Amino acid sequence: MNQPPAPRPVFARRPLPPRRVPRRRYLLAFSAAALAFIVAMAIAWQLAALSPRTRNAPERAPGEKTTIAVLPFAASGVGQEHFGEGMAEDIAAALANYQSLAVVAPNSSFRYRARGGDPMRAGKALGARYVLTGSVAHPAPNVRIAATLVDAASGAHVWSEEIDWPANGLSDVQFAIVDGIAQRLAAESDRVQGEGIRRTPLPSIASYDRYLLARHLLRRHGETDRPGAAVLAARQLLERAVAEQADFAPYYSALSETYRAAYAERMHDPALDNEFGSRVAIDRAAQLAGRAVSLDMESFQAWAQLGWVLRWRPPFEDSIAAFERARSLNPNVVDARAGEPLVFAGRAVEAVPIIERAMRLDPLASPETLASLGHAYYMVGDYGKAIDALTVCVQRAPTSAFCHRLLAAAYSQTGRQEEAVFQAAEAMRENPGWTIGAAVRASLYQRRADLDHLVTGYRKAGFPE
């Protein structure tokens, strides 16, 4: 005889004091990826529950978003920094599902380390009303996380949580907690509108840890003296993760990035030199990104990675379509990379507002984003703004030949010849063999007029033919 299903756990909502909620500890059996969702849901619930008086802030105007910055979690133990970063990044991604929340891009928020960081200073610098800090410990076979949400204006702790669990899979309790919090959000507040929790397959803790380490290596490969070694190490970790769990879409997205990076960037590593500019490498990147999408058609991250890979395979309609699909799945997230294919497709006027909007939540934008913005400004003829963006680009990436080259072209178009010549010399110092003719032959511009526009600036700046 069939037994009736066990009742789902019920979690009562506690009244909130003005400043701090007592810590609570739960023992749960669920994976690290699920934990990121749970912490994000609890934060969103807390923000929805706080009254304007409790938050010591005025009522928000209609449509105004609450801005949150998630700092990288401090990790206990040697070699665990990637785990703290990965947890924080997944929490930020989960919070971005709520349309009334604006989440600062990890590229900027991760500049402020959790251990020893000042949440009030970080909040002010990042333009965030709330800052999430935390710590994570991974003493096998358990994982322990502590998180605190701080009011960046007053320093008050408005929410805190400690969770301790064995890292050995999922349970019905996990889904009961996540679904219960999501239901409360939808029922009790019209300020936070979530997409809900999609029950995608979650990896084992061992393979997920390898994935987080690979993401960490990819994020920082450009900051090392041996970028190729970092990309290769990430690829090996991800290939092992895929072998262990072949149906987890994020593994394929990250693995595709190792091939895209090797295709687009000189790694100065014998094992990757043959992939630079190789059609085989970019085709492999596209195949892996497509596999991620096929595994999770509702993942905006998977679609965005596919769009980014296809940006390197003209014509650009497929890349633009993939980015548009990502944006339709989560309009709250604006990916600056979506501007690149638009510029090359002759639609720079559409690219500018996309990159500008992305940078509002990424005030410490990467050199790549600044280069994209400067490129778009140049193509629409706004040379002054192009110079502003590209000047910051060369400050943050002084070895970027592309930024120096484009800055030289922008200066030349405004008649500032001395500065143009200086930037051209810097570009040639970084890439001595570059010529205008080679650039024309390798051009990705779909409109000849756009290529001619750039070449005119190069010639005025004095680059070799």
Where are the extended beta strands (E) located within 19-138? Answer: 25-27, 66-70, 74-75, 101-103, 130-137
Does a structural domain hold residue 461?
yes
- Same domain for 168 and 304: no
Q: CA angle 316-297-177, nearest 5°? A: 140
Same domain, yes or no: 246 and 322: yes
392 in a structural domain: yes
- Give the helix, strand, coil percentages of the chain, each rounded to 5: 55, 10, 35
In a domain, 339, yes or no: no
Q: Return d(Cα 417, Cα 55) in angstroms, integer.
A: 53
CA distance 416 to 381: 15
Would you say residue 231 lies in a domain? yes
| Domain CATH number, residue 463 | 1.25.40.10
**Domain identity same for 38 and 167:** yes
3-state secondary structure of 149: strand
In a domain, 16, yes or no: no
In sequence order, what are the beta bridge partners of 381?
Answer: none
- Kindly state whether residues 112 and 256 are assigned to the same domain: no
- Based on the fold, state whether residues 183 and 35 are members of the same structural domain: yes
Q: For 133, list phi and psi in degrees, rounded to 5.
A: -120, 165
- The reply to whether 290 and 397 lie within a common domain is no
Q: What is the CATH number of the domain that holds 181?
A: 3.40.50.10070
Q: Which domain holds residue 299?
A: 200-331
Q: Do 38 and 175 fall into the same domain?
A: yes
Same domain, 183 and 238: no
**337 within domain boundaries:** no
Burial class (CB in 10 A: 0-12, 13-18, 19+), 118: middle
> Do both 107 and 177 map to the same domain?
yes
Short-list 89, 81, 112, CA closest to 40: 89
Q: Closest Cα to residue 77, out of 219, 209, 187, 221?
A: 209
Instruction: Judge contact between 97 and 332, C-beta under 8 A.
Output: yes
Under a CB-based contact definition with an 8 Å cutoff, are residues 374 and 389 in contact?
A: yes
pTM: 0.77
- Alpha-helical segments (H) within 156-278: 172-188, 205-220, 227-244, 249-264
Same domain, 253 and 230: yes
Question: Widest CA span of the chain, in angstroms?
Answer: 88
Q: Which of 153, 188, 223 is the last residue of a domain?
A: 188
Give CA–CA dist 367/111, Å, rounded: 14
Contacts for 328 with CB less than 8 Å, ≥ 6 apart: none
Instruction: Mark whether 217 and 303 lie in a shared domain.
Output: yes
Single-letter code of the amino acid located at 149: L
Number of domains observed in the structure of the chain: 3
The count of other CB atoms within 10 Å of the CB of residue 142 is 14
147 belongs to a structural domain: yes
pLDDT tens for the chain, 465 residues: list them.
Answer: 444 443 333 333 333 333 333 343 333 334 455 555 555 555 555 555 554 433 333 344 445 677 888 888 887 765 677 777 877 887 777 777 777 777 888 888 888 764 456 888 888 888 888 888 888 776 566 677 777 788 888 888 877 777 766 654 333 323 332 333 234 333 333 333 344 444 455 567 778 888 888 998 998 877 777 888 999 999 999 999 999 889 999 999 999 999 999 998 888 889 998 999 899 999 999 999 999 999 999 999 999 999 999 999 989 999 999 999 999 998 888 899 999 999 999 999 999 999 999 998 888 888 889 999 999 999 999 999 999 999 999 998 888 899 999 999 999 999 999 999 999 999 999 889 999 999 999 899 999 999 999 999 999 999 999
Same domain, 54 and 173: yes
CB proximity list for 441: less than 8 A, separation 6 or greater: none
Q: Is residue 71 domain-resident?
A: yes
